[in-house]
Amino acid sequence: MHRVIHPKFQNYTQTLDSFISNFETEGEAFGNQQRNSLRLFKLNNITLNIKSFKKPNAINKVVYKYFRKSKAERSYLYANKLKDMGIGTPIPVAYYELTTKIIFGKSFYISEHLNCDITYRELTTNFDIDNYEGILRAFTAFTFMLHEKGVNFLDHSPGNTLIKFNNGEYKFYLVDLNRMKFETMTFQKRMRNFAKLTTHRSMVEIMSDEYSNLINEDYDKVFNLMWKETQDFQSNFHRRRRIKKKIKFWKN
């Protein structure tokens, strides 16, 4: 077992080890368990969120062992980097990797659990949220800040931004961090980064208006590319789903 624990949590090493060893039988299941497993554990007065990543396929067992950082390690490293940059994300605690001498096994990422008021996903389904447009504009400003700091959050999707209400202001926290690049964000990359967020044209219109003001670009230029990237993503997404259904049909 390989582990890296944040210096602030070094005194709890034995307890954290126990959480990982007993992950399947202890803790409280949290959220969707279909792909990766999330469980909550109590550490004194702190709630920890432990994510057990799905076992990689045969190829990735070799890739993660010798050539590429695991999802858990990337999550931990990126969380620390985001914190250093002043970007919201739950506090990183540790990551664990279970391996043999030859291949990679499983990995776990531990962070403090953050209780949020809503996620961005609620904005795509409930248009009656108080100050709906203000929240959406604040989220757009948050995304603009990421871009200005050179953060390309590749999983910028509805469930991966937590939102907390703070006396009329809004704070945003990124989760599911293992797919991220730190690079100069071209205009094309900026607009593509909005592609997974919604299918609603009305939301894209608001985000385009806010972003065009922040970047000092023509609204039509921003909207046309943001909407095109959104439509292209949806088209590709549904095409991939149709292909998967056909493959499953022939397998059955």
Residue 245 has pLDDT above 80, yes or no: no
**Structural domains in the chain?**
2-112 (3.30.200), 118-240 (1.10.510)
pTM of the predicted model, to two decimals? 0.90
Of residues 154, 174, 177, 172, the one with CA closest to residue 51: 177
Considering 51-60, 170-179, 232-241, the range whose residues carry the highest mean pLDDT is: 170-179
| Per-residue tokens: 46 | 């702190």
Contact in structure between 95 and 139 (CB atoms under 8 Å): no
Helices (H), the chain: 13-21, 58-66, 71-84, 120-125, 132-148, 187-192, 201-215, 219-251
Longest dimension (CA), the chain: 57
How much is the mean pLDDT over the chain? 92
114-145 pLDDT per residue, tens:
999 999 999 999 999 999 999 999 999 999 99
Residue 55's pLDDT is: 83
Per-residue pLDDT, averaged over 111-116, amounts to: 96
CB-facing half-sphere around the CA of 229: CA atoms within 13 A: 19
Residue 112's pLDDT is: 97
187-230 pLDDT per residue, tens:
999 999 999 999 999 999 999 999 999 999 999 999 999 999 99
Q: Which amino acid is located at 9 in the chain? A: F
Residue 246 has pLDDT above 70, yes or no: no
Token look-up 């809503």 returns 118
